[in-house]
Each structure stands twice: as structure tokens, then as C-alpha cells.
Amino acid sequence: MEDKIEQIKARFAEVERLVADPELHKDQKRAVETMREHAHLSEIISQYDVVTALRTQIAENEELLEQEDAEIREIAAEELDPLRADLERAERKLTVLLIPPDPLDAKNTIMEIRAGTGGDEASLFAADLYRMYMRYAESVGWKTELIEASETEVGGFKEIIVSISGKEVYSHLKYESGVHRVQRVPSTESGGRIHTSAVTVAVLPEAEETDVQIRTEEIRVDVFRSSGPGGQSVNTTDSAVRITHLPTGLVVICQDEKSQLKNKAKAMRVLKARLFEQKERARQEEMAATRKGQVGSGDRSERVRTYNFHQNRLTDHRINLTLYRLDAIITGDLGQVIDALRLSASEVDAPS
């Protein structure tokens, strides 16, 4: 690891020289990529310094255990376990940072949450997942923007689409794609029987202007009046927009805004993200044959996680992770799950 860190420090010095060169900023795209690399390398070096400092502190405390003074030995011993736990977390974070980043990791995301099997209960769980992700996003300083929501009469969602922007959003959320299963007693169940329902989550890297080009003749735009739960009209103007991408048949509907122009702009963002995902999925399938394995990501038909409320248990089936703190996780304390997935993926992808 030390050799790799020395290489990173050398590259960091080189990138710092590039950042200081006025010529770099004449090429906006190259400047953005260089600044992104600078930030990533800086984070690795800072994290390595944290690991080094903790290792030094642990070594010093272990030496103090040999002291004659009983009080000093006791204090040193008390500090060791927390220090070792901090070191383990710091080393895991460093391991993740040392894996060459996916080109998409720094992108913002479009997250789509859809109720699956389970009727009203599935729609209520879709609302629970939406709130979970929004609270997690808030806790890490990301920005969220509602794009489209199809509400049900019981207060759930048939579908909800949201944009999430911030530092390395896609890197953290890309493994959330798939089928999320819930096991709990519905509020409408008088007999206390546990029901199983399912919700599908899709996390799409948000496309930039240069990622996807859509010609005017490739789309058909239809406008209509927006509707709410039960189909009742909620607007008196044709503000809702449906965009059909003719070459692929993809359809995006957006009616959350009162402005037709705003709905069209949001629908185009979702359409571009879906088209970009298709392109990236084809690229990843080509790469999959040469990889040692994958933490299932992106496959919307894959059952990725079970939320058992009766047992306060969350199980991620891809990495055999089980936590008995669902009450905290469902309210947004998702960091432990996301970190475990990223670490597992980094171990899969790490070069031999």
C-alpha cells in the first residue's frame, strides 16, 4: 500500500501543477476532469494520513501497557479498543478510495421508485423508501428535486422520480437498484398477518449534454391535463407532458409542475438518463465477462434487499449482510449499508 500511496502523491503533485496552469482552464471539460481528479487524490492522501495517525497512536498506547504505573496502563488499555475500531473504519474507507473510480461515480442521479406486487401496501412502502433516501441525502448534504410523483388514495406512491445531486451521488447509490421486499403487518390488516410486498428502485446516472444527443425528429411530445389519485383532474390547463422516444419506444410522463415548459424539461432529463443507462448497461455487459464477479447493480429484476419490520431486520442478499436496526435505517441512517456494499464491490473490482 505504501508504494501505491507514493505513486498517488507523485501524481497529486503533477495534478497540482496542472491546476495552477492557466492554459488548463481554456479547455472546460479537461479542467473539470482535472479538478475532479485533484479532489479525489487529495481525499486519498488525507485518509491515508488519518490511518497513519491512528496506527501511530495505537502503537504508542501498546507501549504504555508496559509502563509500571498502573493508572497509565489502565488509561492506555481503555483507549485501545475505540482506537482499533476507528482504525478499522478508516482502513475500509481508504480501501474504497484506492479503487480506480468508475467514470460515472461523480455523476448526479435520477432515482425512480415504483410500487410492485402488494397493492396499497407496496405503494406505502414506496413512500417509506422515498423518505428513507431523502433523509439520507439530507444527512450527507445532497440536494434533491422532485421530478414526478403518482400518488395513491392511501397516501403511497405508484411511482416517484427524484433528482439527487451532490458529491459522488451515483457512487453511493448505484447499488440500490433492484427489487426491495418488505415483510410487515399492513395498517389495514385487522388479523395481524404479515404480508410481503415489493418495490422496484432504479438509480440512473444523470446524463450531461455531451452524453446523449436527442434529435427533435426522434421524439413525439403530447400534452394533456394532469391528474391526481383516482384520476381526478388537478389542473385546468394542458400542463402535463408525455415524451415518446420513437427509436426505442421509451415513454416519460411528467405532470408535477403547473408549467408545461417545466414538465417538458424534467421529462427530457429523465429520458436522457434512461437512454444513457441503456448505453452504459451495454458497455457493462461487455465488461462483465472479464470481471471476477459483481455486486448486483442496475438489474431491476434482482431481489436485492428484505426489510422485515416484525424482526427489526434488514438483509442485503448480495453481500449476506443482516442488521437488526431497521427502525434506524428506514428513517435515513443508511450509511452502514451503503458503505458495506461499496466495500464489497471494491474487493470484487480490486486488481489481483
Instruction: Check whether 123 has a pLDDT greater than 80.
Output: yes
Instruction: Say which CATH topology domain 2-98 has.
Output: Methane Monooxygenase Hydroxylase; Chain G, domain 1 (1.20.58)
Q: What's the predicted TM-score (pTM) here?
A: 0.74
So what's the pLDDT on residue 347?
A: 66
For 10-53, what is each residue's pLDDT tens digit?
A: 999 999 999 999 999 888 888 888 998 898 899 999 999 999 99
Instruction: Check whether 102 has a pLDDT greater than 90.
Output: no
Chain centroid, CA 338 distance in Å = 8
Return the C-alpha cell found at 129: 423508501
Contact 138, 332 (CB under 8 A): yes
Instruction: Check whether 100 has a pLDDT greater than 80.
Output: no
Q: What's the pLDDT band for 264 if we cut at 50, 70, 90?
A: very high
Mean pLDDT of 297-317: 84
**DSSP H helices in the chain:** 2-20, 28-64, 70-98, 119-139, 169-173, 260-288, 326-329, 335-349
Domain boundaries, the chain: 2-98, 109-211+295-349, 216-285
Instruction: Check whether 351 has a pLDDT greater than 50.
Output: no
CATH code linked to domain 109-211+295-349: 3.30.70.1660
For 180-200, what is each residue's pLDDT tens digit?
A: 999 999 876 766 788 999 999
The secondary structure of 166-183 as a DSSP string is STTHHHHHGGG-EEEEEE
Residue, of 95 and 135, whose pLDDT is higher: 135
Instruction: Check whether 352 has a pLDDT greater than 50.
Output: no
- Listed ranges 20-29, 98-107, 281-290, 292-301; the one with the highest mean pLDDT: 20-29
Region of 14 on the Ramachandran plot (φ > 0 left; ψ -120 to 50 alpha; else beta): alpha
H-helix or E-strand spanning residue 1 = none
So what's the pLDDT on residue 234?
A: 55
Instruction: Check whether 156 has a pLDDT greater than 80.
Output: yes
Mean pLDDT of 119-123: 92
Sequence-distant contacts of 239-245: CB under 8 A, at least 24 apart = 239/263, 241/267, 242/267, 243/219, 243/267, 243/268, 243/271, 244/219, 244/220, 245/214, 245/218, 245/219, 245/271, 245/275
The secondary structure of 164-230 as a DSSP string is EESTTHHHHHGGG-EEEEEEE--TT-TT---EEEEEEEEEEEPPPTTT----GGGEEEEEE--B-GG
So what's the pLDDT on residue 160?
A: 96
Instruction: Say which CATH topology domain 216-285 has.
Output: Double Stranded RNA Binding Domain (3.30.160)
Q: Tally the C-alpha atoms within 13 A of residue 100's C-alpha that lie toward its C-beta.
A: 4
For 73-94, what is each residue's pLDDT tens digit?
A: 999 999 999 999 999 989 988 8
Mean pLDDT of 235-239: 71
So what's the pLDDT on residue 235?
A: 57
